[in-house]
Amino acid sequence: MEPEATRNVFDGTLLHVAVESWPSGDREVVHHPGACAVVPLTASGDVVLVRQLREAVRRPLLEIPAGIFDVEGEDGTGCAARELLEETGYRASDLRPLGSIFTSPGFTDERIELFAASAEPMEGGMTEDGIDVVLMPLEEAMRAIRDGRIIDAKSVCGLLLVGLERSL
């Protein structure tokens, strides 16, 4: 389906906002290039998480590593592996897709591809400034979702999908 009319109202570096006319009325739509996220598991069963300030919500969040599709020609697998290494200093192997999610389809077309991977620390691996790496047993991550310590949507979805796979 397509809108009857579209008017671009903002073009940023990452986001583009349009006002679209639909039979039900006008809608503001945020267009996003898409992203990927990965649930990295160490050999000992820990999940490699990141804690970083999310300015939009005014606080740090505990999340799975993720990033925007911002390298020309890169697919989801490549993006997930790159983001894991850049954010945590861990190398991904055995990357496999878990599915994809629309983050908030009421106002944006942002879609995140979710992956699971085995994660190994790289000797001398560096992390991005402002990111703290947190290792947590998968079972503890499940409890962290339930008690509100992990509330980021992509992280909740990815962790629950991996947890569900392990319980089947």
Q: With a cut of 80, say whether residue 57 has pLDDT above it.
A: yes
**Catalytic pick among 74, 128, 139, 165:** 128
Q: With a cut of 80, say whether residue 124 has pLDDT above it.
A: no
- Domain ranges for the chain, please list them: 1-31, 34-99+111-167
| Model pLDDT for residues 3-43, shown as the tens digit of each residue | 999 999 999 999 999 999 999 999 999 999 999 999 999 99
% of the chain beyond a pLDDT of 70: 98
pLDDT of 125 reads 65
Say whether pTM exceeds 0.85.
yes
Tell me what the pLDDT averaged over the chain comes to.
95
pLDDT of 48 reads 98
Integer Cα distance of 161 and 156 in angstroms: 9
Residue the block writes with tokens 């509330």: 151
Sign of CA dihedral 52, 76, 100, 22: positive
Q: Which amino acid is at 124?
A: G
| Tokens read off for 77 | 């697998």
Burial of 64 (0-12, 13-18, 19+ CB in 10 A): buried
pLDDT of 128 reads 76
Across the beta sheet with 5-11, what order do the strands follow?
5-11, 16-22, 25-31
Is 128 marked active-site?
yes
Assign domain 34-99+111-167 to its CATH architecture. Answer: Alpha-Beta Complex (3.90)
The mean per-residue pLDDT over the stretch 121-148 comes to: 90
| Model pLDDT for residues 73-109, shown as the tens digit of each residue | 999 999 999 999 999 999 999 999 999 999 999 999 9
The mean per-residue pLDDT over the stretch 106-114 comes to: 97
Q: With a cut of 90, say whether residue 123 has pLDDT above it.
A: no
Integer Cα distance of 155 and 116 in angstroms: 11
